[in-house]
Structure 1
Amino acid sequence: MTTTGRGSAAHLEKVEAPGSMLTEAAAKALAVLRISTGFVFLWAFFDKTFGWGYATPSAKAWINGGSPTKGFLSGVEVGPGWLQDFFHGIAGDVWTNWLFMLGLLGIGLAFVLGIGMRLAAGAAVAMMAMMWLAEFPLDRTTAGGEPSGSTNPITDYHFVYAVTGVVLALTYAGHTWGLGKRWAALPFVQKNRWLI
Protein backbone atom coordinates (compact mmCIF):
# COMPACT_ATOMS: atom_id res chain seq x y z
CA MET A 1 0.00 0.00 0.00
CA THR A 2 1.15 3.47 -0.73
CA THR A 3 -0.09 6.68 0.73
CA THR A 4 -0.83 9.58 -1.54
CA GLY A 5 -1.85 12.98 -0.30
CA ARG A 6 -5.05 14.51 -1.58
CA GLY A 7 -5.54 17.87 -0.01
CA SER A 8 -5.21 17.60 3.75
CA ALA A 9 -6.50 14.00 3.91
CA ALA A 10 -4.40 10.95 3.22
CA HIS A 11 -5.75 8.43 0.72
CA LEU A 12 -4.74 4.76 0.71
CA GLU A 13 -4.36 3.24 -2.72
CA LYS A 14 -3.67 -0.42 -3.46
CA VAL A 15 -0.73 -0.89 -5.79
CA GLU A 16 -0.26 -4.23 -7.56
CA ALA A 17 3.16 -5.62 -8.34
CA PRO A 18 4.07 -4.67 -11.93
CA GLY A 19 2.78 -7.21 -14.44
CA SER A 20 1.20 -9.47 -11.86
CA MET A 21 -2.49 -8.78 -12.53
CA LEU A 22 -4.81 -7.66 -15.25
CA THR A 23 -7.38 -5.08 -14.41
CA GLU A 24 -10.94 -6.33 -14.25
CA ALA A 25 -11.79 -4.33 -17.38
CA ALA A 26 -8.83 -5.84 -19.26
CA ALA A 27 -9.84 -9.37 -18.21
CA LYS A 28 -13.37 -8.77 -19.48
CA ALA A 29 -12.07 -7.30 -22.74
CA LEU A 30 -9.88 -10.38 -23.22
CA ALA A 31 -12.87 -12.61 -22.49
CA VAL A 32 -14.86 -10.84 -25.22
CA LEU A 33 -11.90 -11.24 -27.60
CA ARG A 34 -11.60 -14.93 -26.66
CA ILE A 35 -15.28 -15.71 -27.21
CA SER A 36 -15.41 -13.68 -30.43
CA THR A 37 -12.33 -15.40 -31.83
CA GLY A 38 -13.69 -18.80 -30.86
CA PHE A 39 -16.94 -17.96 -32.61
CA VAL A 40 -15.01 -17.20 -35.84
CA PHE A 41 -13.60 -20.74 -35.80
CA LEU A 42 -16.90 -22.35 -34.78
CA TRP A 43 -18.84 -20.48 -37.44
CA ALA A 44 -16.43 -21.67 -40.12
CA PHE A 45 -16.81 -25.25 -38.84
CA PHE A 46 -20.62 -25.18 -38.85
CA ASP A 47 -20.95 -23.35 -42.17
CA LYS A 48 -18.60 -25.81 -43.89
CA THR A 49 -20.29 -28.78 -42.21
CA PHE A 50 -23.93 -27.85 -42.85
CA GLY A 51 -23.68 -25.37 -45.74
CA TRP A 52 -25.54 -22.46 -44.20
CA GLY A 53 -25.09 -20.50 -47.40
CA TYR A 54 -22.51 -17.95 -46.28
CA ALA A 55 -19.12 -19.24 -47.41
CA THR A 56 -20.47 -22.69 -48.20
CA PRO A 57 -23.65 -23.41 -50.17
CA SER A 58 -25.78 -26.31 -48.95
CA ALA A 59 -24.88 -28.47 -51.95
CA LYS A 60 -21.17 -28.25 -51.03
CA ALA A 61 -21.63 -28.90 -47.29
CA TRP A 62 -19.41 -31.54 -45.74
CA ILE A 63 -22.45 -33.59 -44.68
CA ASN A 64 -23.62 -33.56 -48.31
CA GLY A 65 -20.33 -34.96 -49.62
CA GLY A 66 -18.54 -31.66 -50.16
CA SER A 67 -14.91 -31.12 -49.25
CA PRO A 68 -14.05 -28.32 -46.83
CA THR A 69 -10.49 -28.08 -48.22
CA LYS A 70 -10.66 -28.97 -51.92
CA GLY A 71 -11.84 -25.65 -53.32
CA PHE A 72 -9.45 -23.51 -51.31
CA LEU A 73 -6.34 -25.67 -51.58
CA SER A 74 -6.78 -26.68 -55.21
CA GLY A 75 -7.06 -22.97 -56.09
CA VAL A 76 -3.68 -22.02 -54.57
CA GLU A 77 -1.85 -20.02 -57.26
CA VAL A 78 0.72 -18.12 -55.22
CA GLY A 79 4.00 -18.95 -53.56
CA PRO A 80 6.84 -21.13 -54.78
CA GLY A 81 5.87 -23.89 -57.22
CA TRP A 82 6.72 -26.66 -54.77
CA LEU A 83 4.39 -25.08 -52.20
CA GLN A 84 1.56 -24.84 -54.74
CA ASP A 85 2.14 -28.50 -55.67
CA PHE A 86 2.01 -29.48 -51.98
CA PHE A 87 -1.34 -27.76 -51.39
CA HIS A 88 -2.81 -29.07 -54.65
CA GLY A 89 -1.68 -32.57 -53.66
CA ILE A 90 -3.48 -32.58 -50.30
CA ALA A 91 -6.60 -30.69 -51.45
CA GLY A 92 -9.72 -32.66 -50.61
CA ASP A 93 -7.90 -35.65 -49.08
CA VAL A 94 -9.93 -37.29 -46.33
CA TRP A 95 -7.19 -36.74 -43.73
CA THR A 96 -6.85 -33.07 -44.77
CA ASN A 97 -10.60 -32.49 -44.43
CA TRP A 98 -10.78 -34.18 -41.03
CA LEU A 99 -7.68 -32.46 -39.65
CA PHE A 100 -8.90 -29.04 -40.82
CA MET A 101 -12.44 -29.51 -39.52
CA LEU A 102 -11.35 -30.96 -36.17
CA GLY A 103 -8.95 -28.02 -35.86
CA LEU A 104 -11.75 -25.51 -36.47
CA LEU A 105 -14.04 -27.27 -33.99
CA GLY A 106 -11.39 -27.82 -31.31
CA ILE A 107 -9.97 -24.30 -31.45
CA GLY A 108 -13.44 -22.77 -31.52
CA LEU A 109 -14.75 -24.78 -28.57
CA ALA A 110 -11.59 -24.26 -26.50
CA PHE A 111 -11.69 -20.48 -27.01
CA VAL A 112 -15.43 -20.14 -26.39
CA LEU A 113 -15.31 -22.34 -23.27
CA GLY A 114 -11.97 -20.97 -22.07
CA ILE A 115 -10.35 -24.39 -21.65
CA GLY A 116 -7.19 -25.89 -23.11
CA MET A 117 -6.07 -22.44 -24.17
CA ARG A 118 -2.39 -23.35 -24.66
CA LEU A 119 -3.21 -26.30 -26.88
CA ALA A 120 -5.80 -24.26 -28.79
CA ALA A 121 -3.35 -21.40 -29.26
CA GLY A 122 -0.71 -23.78 -30.63
CA ALA A 123 -3.25 -25.33 -33.00
CA ALA A 124 -4.43 -21.87 -34.10
CA VAL A 125 -0.86 -20.78 -34.83
CA ALA A 126 -0.23 -23.95 -36.89
CA MET A 127 -3.50 -23.61 -38.81
CA MET A 128 -3.04 -19.92 -39.49
CA ALA A 129 0.58 -20.49 -40.60
CA MET A 130 -0.57 -23.11 -43.12
CA MET A 131 -3.35 -20.86 -44.38
CA TRP A 132 -0.91 -17.94 -44.63
CA LEU A 133 1.39 -20.11 -46.74
CA ALA A 134 -1.54 -21.15 -48.93
CA GLU A 135 -2.48 -17.52 -49.57
CA PHE A 136 1.21 -16.48 -49.60
CA PRO A 137 0.66 -12.73 -49.22
CA LEU A 138 4.30 -12.04 -50.13
CA ASP A 139 3.41 -12.54 -53.81
CA ARG A 140 1.96 -9.60 -55.69
CA THR A 141 0.88 -11.78 -58.60
CA THR A 142 -0.43 -15.29 -59.10
CA ALA A 143 1.32 -18.02 -61.10
CA GLY A 144 -0.79 -16.84 -64.06
CA GLY A 145 0.43 -13.24 -63.75
CA GLU A 146 -2.81 -11.84 -62.29
CA PRO A 147 -2.81 -9.60 -59.20
CA SER A 148 -2.81 -11.80 -56.11
CA GLY A 149 -5.09 -9.52 -54.11
CA SER A 150 -2.61 -9.36 -51.25
CA THR A 151 -3.09 -6.17 -49.28
CA ASN A 152 -0.24 -6.63 -46.81
CA PRO A 153 2.69 -9.00 -47.31
CA ILE A 154 3.14 -9.92 -43.66
CA THR A 155 0.53 -8.83 -41.14
CA ASP A 156 -2.78 -10.11 -42.42
CA TYR A 157 -5.71 -11.71 -40.62
CA HIS A 158 -3.91 -15.06 -40.30
CA PHE A 159 -1.12 -13.39 -38.36
CA VAL A 160 -3.59 -11.45 -36.19
CA TYR A 161 -5.59 -14.60 -35.31
CA ALA A 162 -2.37 -16.48 -34.46
CA VAL A 163 -1.09 -13.68 -32.21
CA THR A 164 -4.55 -13.37 -30.64
CA GLY A 165 -4.50 -17.06 -29.71
CA VAL A 166 -1.10 -16.70 -28.07
CA VAL A 167 -2.16 -13.59 -26.12
CA LEU A 168 -5.35 -15.30 -24.94
CA ALA A 169 -3.40 -18.30 -23.67
CA LEU A 170 -0.68 -16.26 -21.96
CA THR A 171 -3.16 -14.02 -20.14
CA TYR A 172 -5.36 -16.86 -18.88
CA ALA A 173 -8.28 -15.31 -20.74
CA GLY A 174 -10.34 -18.45 -20.14
CA HIS A 175 -10.63 -17.63 -16.43
CA THR A 176 -13.02 -14.72 -17.04
CA TRP A 177 -16.47 -15.72 -18.33
CA GLY A 178 -15.13 -19.17 -19.10
CA LEU A 179 -14.36 -22.51 -17.53
CA GLY A 180 -10.60 -21.90 -17.34
CA LYS A 181 -10.27 -21.90 -13.55
CA ARG A 182 -12.28 -25.11 -13.15
CA TRP A 183 -10.40 -26.72 -16.03
CA ALA A 184 -6.99 -25.76 -14.56
CA ALA A 185 -7.99 -27.28 -11.19
CA LEU A 186 -8.68 -30.75 -12.65
CA PRO A 187 -6.09 -33.31 -11.47
CA PHE A 188 -5.13 -34.49 -14.98
CA VAL A 189 -4.63 -30.87 -16.08
CA GLN A 190 -2.55 -30.16 -12.95
CA LYS A 191 -0.30 -33.10 -13.92
CA ASN A 192 -0.16 -31.99 -17.57
CA ARG A 193 0.22 -28.21 -17.40
CA TRP A 194 0.40 -27.91 -21.20
CA LEU A 195 -3.35 -28.63 -21.20
CA ILE A 196 -4.18 -25.37 -19.38
Structure 2
Amino acid sequence: MVYEKKYDYSDMVKGIIPRNADAFAFGTLRIALGWIWLWAFFDKFLGLGFATTPEKAWINGNSPITGYLKFATNPESPFYTFFSKDLVNFAGILDFLMMGMFIFVGISLIFGIFIRLASLSAIVFMLSIYLGNIPLVNNPIIDDHIIYTLVLLVFFFTPTVGKYIGFGNKWQSINVVQKYPILK
Protein backbone atom coordinates (compact mmCIF):
# COMPACT_ATOMS: atom_id res chain seq x y z
CA MET A 1 0.00 0.00 0.00
CA VAL A 2 1.38 3.37 -0.99
CA TYR A 3 1.08 6.22 1.50
CA GLU A 4 -1.05 8.93 0.01
CA LYS A 5 -0.64 12.45 1.32
CA LYS A 6 -4.16 13.76 1.85
CA TYR A 7 -3.51 17.10 3.46
CA ASP A 8 -0.90 19.72 2.73
CA TYR A 9 -0.78 22.52 5.28
CA SER A 10 2.25 24.24 3.79
CA ASP A 11 0.14 26.96 2.16
CA MET A 12 -1.39 27.85 5.53
CA VAL A 13 1.96 28.69 7.08
CA LYS A 14 3.64 30.06 3.97
CA GLY A 15 4.91 33.52 4.79
CA ILE A 16 4.23 33.11 8.52
CA ILE A 17 6.95 30.69 9.57
CA PRO A 18 10.41 32.16 8.80
CA ARG A 19 13.02 30.08 7.06
CA ASN A 20 16.16 31.69 8.50
CA ALA A 21 17.61 32.59 11.87
CA ASP A 22 17.48 36.38 11.58
CA ALA A 23 13.81 36.30 10.60
CA PHE A 24 13.12 34.00 13.53
CA ALA A 25 15.03 36.32 15.89
CA PHE A 26 13.15 39.41 14.68
CA GLY A 27 9.80 37.67 14.89
CA THR A 28 10.49 36.30 18.35
CA LEU A 29 11.72 39.68 19.60
CA ARG A 30 8.62 41.39 18.19
CA ILE A 31 6.25 38.88 19.79
CA ALA A 32 8.07 38.99 23.14
CA LEU A 33 7.93 42.78 23.22
CA GLY A 34 4.27 42.65 22.22
CA TRP A 35 3.58 40.29 25.11
CA ILE A 36 5.18 42.76 27.54
CA TRP A 37 2.74 45.46 26.36
CA LEU A 38 -0.28 43.16 26.32
CA TRP A 39 0.58 41.88 29.79
CA ALA A 40 0.85 45.46 31.07
CA PHE A 41 -2.70 46.02 29.83
CA PHE A 42 -4.15 42.91 31.48
CA ASP A 43 -2.26 43.43 34.74
CA LYS A 44 -3.34 47.07 35.06
CA PHE A 45 -6.89 46.32 33.91
CA LEU A 46 -7.55 43.27 36.09
CA GLY A 47 -4.96 43.63 38.86
CA LEU A 48 -3.39 40.22 38.38
CA GLY A 49 -1.15 40.71 41.37
CA PHE A 50 2.15 41.32 39.61
CA ALA A 51 2.81 45.05 39.11
CA THR A 52 -0.81 45.84 39.99
CA THR A 53 -2.65 44.36 42.95
CA PRO A 54 -6.33 43.44 42.50
CA GLU A 55 -7.52 46.32 44.66
CA LYS A 56 -5.63 48.80 42.43
CA ALA A 57 -7.02 47.41 39.16
CA TRP A 58 -8.60 49.72 36.61
CA ILE A 59 -11.69 47.49 36.56
CA ASN A 60 -12.17 48.35 40.25
CA GLY A 61 -12.27 52.07 39.50
CA ASN A 62 -8.62 52.95 40.08
CA SER A 63 -6.46 55.06 37.81
CA PRO A 64 -3.58 53.10 36.27
CA ILE A 65 -1.62 56.25 35.46
CA THR A 66 -2.07 58.33 38.62
CA GLY A 67 0.34 56.25 40.71
CA TYR A 68 3.05 56.62 38.10
CA LEU A 69 2.49 60.34 37.65
CA LYS A 70 2.55 61.06 41.38
CA PHE A 71 5.06 58.57 42.75
CA ALA A 72 7.20 56.98 40.01
CA THR A 73 8.65 60.15 38.57
CA ASN A 74 11.97 61.34 39.92
CA PRO A 75 11.53 64.46 42.10
CA GLU A 76 14.87 65.70 40.75
CA SER A 77 13.67 65.50 37.15
CA PRO A 78 13.15 68.80 35.35
CA PHE A 79 9.81 67.32 34.23
CA TYR A 80 8.65 66.35 37.74
CA THR A 81 6.11 69.17 38.09
CA PHE A 82 4.74 68.50 34.63
CA PHE A 83 4.18 64.81 35.38
CA SER A 84 3.22 64.89 39.06
CA LYS A 85 1.13 68.08 39.15
CA ASP A 86 0.01 69.09 35.64
CA LEU A 87 -0.75 65.76 33.94
CA VAL A 88 -2.50 64.32 37.01
CA ASN A 89 -5.39 66.68 36.25
CA PHE A 90 -5.98 64.73 33.04
CA ALA A 91 -5.68 61.25 34.58
CA GLY A 92 -9.09 60.07 33.35
CA ILE A 93 -8.28 60.80 29.72
CA LEU A 94 -4.71 59.57 30.10
CA ASP A 95 -5.94 56.28 31.60
CA PHE A 96 -7.94 55.55 28.44
CA LEU A 97 -5.09 56.65 26.18
CA MET A 98 -2.50 54.59 28.05
CA MET A 99 -4.62 51.46 28.34
CA GLY A 100 -5.68 51.73 24.70
CA MET A 101 -2.06 52.13 23.71
CA PHE A 102 -1.02 49.11 25.80
CA ILE A 103 -3.53 46.79 24.14
CA PHE A 104 -2.97 48.28 20.66
CA VAL A 105 0.82 47.95 20.84
CA GLY A 106 0.60 44.46 22.36
CA ILE A 107 -1.80 43.05 19.77
CA SER A 108 -0.07 44.82 16.87
CA LEU A 109 3.38 43.54 17.76
CA ILE A 110 2.18 40.01 18.51
CA PHE A 111 0.31 39.70 15.20
CA GLY A 112 2.74 41.73 13.08
CA ILE A 113 0.25 44.39 11.97
CA PHE A 114 0.26 48.19 12.38
CA ILE A 115 3.98 47.92 13.22
CA ARG A 116 4.74 51.57 12.47
CA LEU A 117 1.82 53.06 14.43
CA ALA A 118 2.37 50.69 17.34
CA SER A 119 6.10 51.42 17.43
CA LEU A 120 5.58 55.17 17.22
CA SER A 121 3.06 55.27 20.07
CA ALA A 122 5.25 53.01 22.22
CA ILE A 123 8.32 55.17 21.50
CA VAL A 124 6.49 58.30 22.68
CA PHE A 125 5.40 56.50 25.84
CA MET A 126 8.88 55.09 26.57
CA LEU A 127 10.55 58.46 26.07
CA SER A 128 8.03 60.16 28.36
CA ILE A 129 8.81 57.66 31.11
CA TYR A 130 12.53 58.19 30.48
CA LEU A 131 12.14 61.97 30.80
CA GLY A 132 10.17 61.56 34.01
CA ASN A 133 13.05 59.60 35.53
CA ILE A 134 15.97 61.90 34.67
CA PRO A 135 18.47 61.95 36.31
CA LEU A 136 18.71 58.18 36.15
CA VAL A 137 19.71 56.20 39.22
CA ASN A 138 21.61 53.18 37.85
CA ASN A 139 23.14 54.56 34.66
CA PRO A 140 23.55 58.24 33.82
CA ILE A 141 22.46 57.85 30.18
CA ILE A 142 20.80 54.57 29.24
CA ASP A 143 18.10 52.60 31.01
CA ASP A 144 15.61 49.95 29.90
CA HIS A 145 13.30 52.57 28.38
CA ILE A 146 16.02 53.60 25.94
CA ILE A 147 16.66 49.95 25.01
CA TYR A 148 12.94 49.45 24.33
CA THR A 149 12.94 52.68 22.32
CA LEU A 150 15.88 51.53 20.20
CA VAL A 151 14.19 48.19 19.45
CA LEU A 152 10.96 50.01 18.61
CA LEU A 153 12.88 52.37 16.30
CA VAL A 154 14.21 49.33 14.43
CA PHE A 155 10.63 48.05 14.13
CA PHE A 156 9.38 51.47 12.97
CA PHE A 157 11.97 51.73 10.21
CA THR A 158 11.70 48.02 9.33
CA PRO A 159 7.96 47.29 9.33
CA THR A 160 8.66 44.07 7.44
CA VAL A 161 9.48 42.64 10.87
CA GLY A 162 5.73 41.94 11.03
CA LYS A 163 6.15 39.34 8.30
CA TYR A 164 8.23 37.05 10.49
CA ILE A 165 6.10 34.70 12.58
CA GLY A 166 3.20 37.04 11.99
CA PHE A 167 0.55 38.20 9.59
CA GLY A 168 2.59 41.04 8.08
CA ASN A 169 2.62 39.51 4.58
CA LYS A 170 -1.15 39.38 4.43
CA TRP A 171 -1.52 42.72 6.22
CA GLN A 172 0.91 44.60 3.98
CA SER A 173 -0.79 43.28 0.83
CA ILE A 174 -4.04 45.11 1.71
CA ASN A 175 -4.60 48.08 -0.64
CA VAL A 176 -5.14 50.72 2.06
CA VAL A 177 -1.97 49.59 3.86
CA GLN A 178 0.00 49.86 0.62
CA LYS A 179 -1.47 53.31 -0.02
CA TYR A 180 -0.65 54.61 3.50
CA PRO A 181 2.75 53.21 4.61
CA ILE A 182 2.23 54.39 8.22
CA LEU A 183 -0.26 51.51 8.50
CA LYS A 184 2.41 48.88 7.78
Please report the TM-score for the alignment, with normalisation by the length of structure 2. 0.83
Partners of 2:120 and 2:156 within 8 A in 1: no
Amino acid at match of 2:60: N
Unaligned runs of 5+ in 1: 1-21, 140-149
> Within the alignment, does 1:121 sit opposite 2:119 as a pair?
yes
Matched, 1:195 2:163: no
Structure 1 counterpart of 2:68, from 49, 65, 72? 72
Greater CA radius of gyration, 1 or 2? 1
What CA distance in whole angstroms lies between the structure 1 residues aligned with 2:104 and 2:31? 13
Q: 1:114 is matched by which residue type in structure 2?
A: G
What amino acid sits opposite 1:103 in the alignment? M
- Structure 1 residues 180 and 35 mapped into 2: Cα distance closer, same or farther (>3 Å)? same
AA paired with 2:108?
A
Tell me the distance in 1 between the aligned counterparts of 2:42 and 2:70. 21
Give the Cα–Cα distance (whole angstroms) in 2 for the partners of residues 155 and 28 of structure 1: 27
Q: CA deviation at 1:78?
A: 2.9
SS at match of 1:93: helix
- Supply the distance in 1 between the matched residues of 2:128 and 2:167 (Cα, whole angstroms): 29
Corresponding letter in the other structure for 2:28: V
Give the corresponding residue for 2:13: none
> Comparing both structures, which one devotes a greater share of its residues to helix?
2
Output the CA distance in 2 between the equivalents of 1:112 and 1:163. Answer: 18
Q: In the aligned structure 2, how far is the partner of 1:164 from the partner of 1:23?
A: 22
After TM superposition, the structure 1 = structure 2 runs for residues 16-35 of structure 1, keeping only pairs within 5 Å, are 24-35=20-31
1:40 aligned partner:
36
Name which of structure 1's ranges 61-70 and 167-176 shifts more when overlaid on structure 2.
167-176
Distance 1:32 1:170 in 2: 18
Of 89, 103, 106 in structure 1, the residue corresponding to residue 104 of structure 2 is: 106
Q: Output the CA distance in 2 between the equivalents of 1:102 and 1:153.
A: 31
| TM-score normalised by the chain length of structure 1 | 0.78
Identical aligned residues as a percent = 36
Please give the root-mean-square deviation of Cα atoms over the aligned residues, in Å. Answer: 1.6
- The answer to whether residue 169 in structure 2 is matched with residue 169 in structure 1 is no
Alignment partner of 2:34: what SS? helix
Q: What residue number does 1:154 align with? A: 141
What is the CA distance between 1:70 and its match in structure 2? 0.7
> Relative contact order, CA 8 A, sep 6+: which one is greater?
2
Match of 1:90 in 2: 87
Provide the residue aligned with 1:10 in structure 2.
Answer: none
